Structure 1
């Protein structure tokens, strides 16, 4: 456990959305534990006169057991994990730091595969953080590696949203560029149409199609590294939906592909703490039930993705 874990737990416990989800369960477990402890004290009182001799201590124990039981029942889960029964493949969902997870990164990118910080790539974005961390901020070196991967692919021109005379060169939807730096592999998945400086857009069907093209690319790549992805489409892409549906789309697409061919032993979907607190649609308990269902019955998502 590191500082981020305890900070995330602290923020959950002080989050209004967390208590809106769990206040009923908290009260229920509080009174259940008080009742159970009181019953035990009644039985013990047949032997020892607790109520007169140790009334203050007894009250403290009963009240404390209620608090401890309630805290245990609602202690925040920061990760869930489900294995596909017929394959050695695990799907994990983690609330935490993307770069702290082991495995090859999946990074959402614009279809221009721009890497420049001067107006186009936000340094706080996943791609910006990746460039700072693994390329020491050398965005043009990353650009050269990407272009070496895409040199034979066709392109199209998309007009700028503000300047009709300016065009942005785009690669086909679902284009993937594989790069490796400091021993860490990353798959940059192009699905966002860039129409200006730090202005992009994508739709849910476009993300679904791009994911469908990502997995075959990973299958054809060497090795069987674990895969790690953020919630694609949640920020720069501006897909008009909540984080829950985006997580489900990623999981659906992966499970459907993994049910046909094994290309990794694990996919970890990482939700940033900020997004988890901000989007009340996200609840790991409910996500755990959903992931367990599709892992047991991948045919359900196969119908949706065809």
Structure 2
């Protein structure tokens, strides 16, 4: 919050709203003075309550709030929150994977979202996770193999999304990066955009309209950070989701979960303004 109130956008909103209210009060006072010319004589002190009211109004209008926007068409909500993806309660989770659906080190970084998924959802049981993935991929046509690669070599189309289930929770594993023979993942903005488009179809079909949490995309091993920094990642996800939702509602609520360091570095007021702009005009 301290960072938010130091941003240019916060002060712009504060000053704009404060001047707007002060101007409105001045206009009312001028109108009243036309009919009662002597009312304000000797009451110059009234300017101070007006100034205080204007400043308070500007602060209230510009004060940082939870980053979220609700929409009517379609009836859905997008939120940006600070936290741990795997600590979100009563929500389905989205997990980004590579086109080879590798699951374990050294091909997958243990601290990555996918590495945490293995440890925190499957208790490190690589065999069980691979078996569940293979069962879902049995209905997907491969597009080739990665020659010379260690680990899994079968390649599936970008955007391939499988749904793993744990009681009432759904885990949507979407392939949005390409894995090369050196087990290095990479992607492009076009690849991520098309992958998200396919992801929303799977979420629409399997989430039962429930809350869905998605991590920030573009960082880590995907090599997208230079062209898709954190703020653009949020915009990218939100815009893709809203365009898909206008075709047919995807779910009731999408929650973008940012790690603490990345969340704190974002301009929350700017993100809020962008989410607001996605409302149909």
Global fold match (TM > 0.5):
yes
Report the aligned-residue RMSD.
3.2
Cα distance change, pair 139–85 in 1 and its aligned pair in 2 (3 A): same
Q: Which runs of 5+ in 1 are unaligned?
A: 1-8, 33-42, 44-68, 298-306
Residue 7 of structure 2 corresponds to residue 21 of structure 1:
yes
Query: Is 1:104–2:92 an aligned residue pair?
Result: yes
- Aligned mates of 1:254, 1:231 — CA distance in 2: 14
- CA gap of 1:224–1:158, structure 2 versus 1, over 3 A, is same
1:24 and 1:75 mapped to 2: Cα distance?
7
Give the corresponding residue for 1:193.
178
Whole-angstrom distance in 2 between the partners of 1:185 and 1:72: 39
Structure 2 alignment gaps of length 5 or more: 19-44, 46-56
The residue that corresponds to 2:115 in the other structure is 128
Deviations 1:158-192 (A, max 9, x none): 345xx7x9983210110001112354311000010
8 Å contact from structure 1 (residues 229, 268) kept in 2 = yes
Q: Which of 157, 176, 184 lines up with 1:172 in the alignment?
A: 157
Note if 1:206 corresponds to 2:206: no
Q: Distance in 1 between matches of 2:264 and 2:78?
A: 22
2:239 to 232, 236, 252: 252
Residues 116 and 140 in structure 1, CA contact (< 8 A), matched pair in contact too: no
Which residue matches 2:249? 262
The answer on whether the counterparts of 2:234 and 2:256 sit within 8 Å (CA) in structure 1 is yes
Contact 2:5 2:63 in 1 (8 A): no
1:291 matches 2:278: no
Match in the other structure for 1:88: 75
1:224-280 deviation line (CA, Å, top 9, x unaligned): 2211101122222111321121211111111011112123100011111122345xx
Tell me the equivalent position of 2:36.
Answer: none
Q: Distance in 1 between matches of 2:72 and 2:168?
A: 31
Give the alignment's TM-score, normalised by structure 2.
0.74
Find the aligned partners of 2:151 and 2:84 in 1 and give their Cα distance.
37
Q: How much does 1:217 deviate?
A: 1.8
Q: TM-score, normalised by structure 1?
A: 0.68
- Native 8 Å contact 2:102 2:152 kept in 1: no
Distance in 1 of aligned mates of 2:127 and 2:116: 15
Is residue 129 of structure 2 the alignment partner of residue 142 of structure 1? yes
* Residues 106-115 or 93-102, more deviating: 93-102
When residues 24 and 121 of structure 1 are mapped into structure 2, their CA distance, relative to the original with a 3 A threshold, is: closer
Q: Is the 8 A contact 2:96 2:175 kept in 1?
A: yes
Which is further off, 133-142 or 93-102?
A: 93-102
Residues 122 and 198 of structure 1 are in contact (CA less than 8 Å); yes or no, is this contact kept in structure 2?
no
Mapped contact 2:94–2:174 kept (Cα < 8 A):
yes
